[in-house]
Amino acid sequence: MSGAHGPIGGVRGPRVVSVNVGLPRAVPTDDGGEVLTAIWKEPVAGRVAVRRGNLDGDRQADLVHHGGADKAVYAYAQEDLAWWAGELGRAVPAGAFGENLTIAGLDVAGVVVGEVWSVGSARLQVAQPRIPCFKLGIRFADRSLPRRFAAAGRPGIYLRVLAEGELGAGDAIEVTPGAPQAVGVAALARAYHGRDAQLAAAVLRAPDLPAFWYDWARDRTAPRGRDRP
């Protein structure tokens, strides 16, 4: 479940490649309406302040489903962006998946809930995976993207802010491992999308998860009544 991880492929250690921010904007929908979204993020230069709810210059449009303490900062791996570029046959630049931090050199398959990242003068804690919504399809002008994103097993990482500070492109990511009974971010996403139901029981024993995941696990592990004849 939990385990230490570090640089991959012999490259230099985990690091921030790009810091990306964006504000809500109204974009058209297929039915002729419009929706407010902040999924468009652009790289910014220099040091960026990390606040409890987001980065300076960044906002979330739908505070019911996005943002909040357990979704304050979203990170996605440069290696996964490269994978998507091959999958989609198009360039996928930093910030394309709405991530605040484009990172590299980290074994994202080994990231577990509860581990702490020290980046610049800020301290961030891994909170949960991303569950895609329809706005991802709008961002890529491809309605199949949310389904494909869920199936790809590359959910990215939502982080909560333990200590405010500042960070910037090029900063190292120093990882403090999570608890031994912690659950992996990628495994949690697989469980949610229905491919690893047995993990639900382990979720109930795992620390540092948002309340939503414990509610989900209790529902998945609750005894089911037998169908009546």
What mean pLDDT, rounded, does the chain reach?
91
Q: Which two tokens stand for residue 128?
A: 């949960």
| Residue 205 is assigned to a structural domain of this protein | no
User: Tell me, what CATH number does 94's domain have?
Assistant: 2.40.33.20
> Angle at which helices 78-88 and 145-152 pack, to 10 degrees?
130
Residue 211 has pLDDT above 60, yes or no: yes
Q: Print the domain residue range for 171.
A: 15-179
State how far the Cα of 42 lies from the Cα of 45, in Å rounded to an integer.
10
> Over the stretch 127-160, which tens digit does the pLDDT of each residue have?
999 999 999 999 999 999 999 999 999 999 999 9
Single-letter code of the amino acid located at 116: V
| Residue 128 is assigned to a structural domain of this protein | yes
Q: Count up the domains in the chain and report the number.
A: 1
> Over the stretch 64-107, which tens digit does the pLDDT of each residue have?
777 899 999 999 999 999 999 999 999 999 999 999 999 999 99
| Residue 71 is assigned to a structural domain of this protein | yes
Residue 14 has pLDDT above 60, yes or no: yes
| Residue 90 is assigned to a structural domain of this protein | yes
Query: What is the bridge-based pairing of β-strands 73-77 and 101-104?
Result: parallel
| Residue 135 is assigned to a structural domain of this protein | yes
| Residue 59 is assigned to a structural domain of this protein | yes
| Residue 6 is assigned to a structural domain of this protein | no
Residue 22 has pLDDT above 80, yes or no: yes
Q: What is the mean pLDDT of residues 19-35?
A: 92
| Residue 206 is assigned to a structural domain of this protein | no
pLDDT at 229 (0 to 100): 41
CA distances from 24 to 57, 97, 215 (A): 11, 15, 30
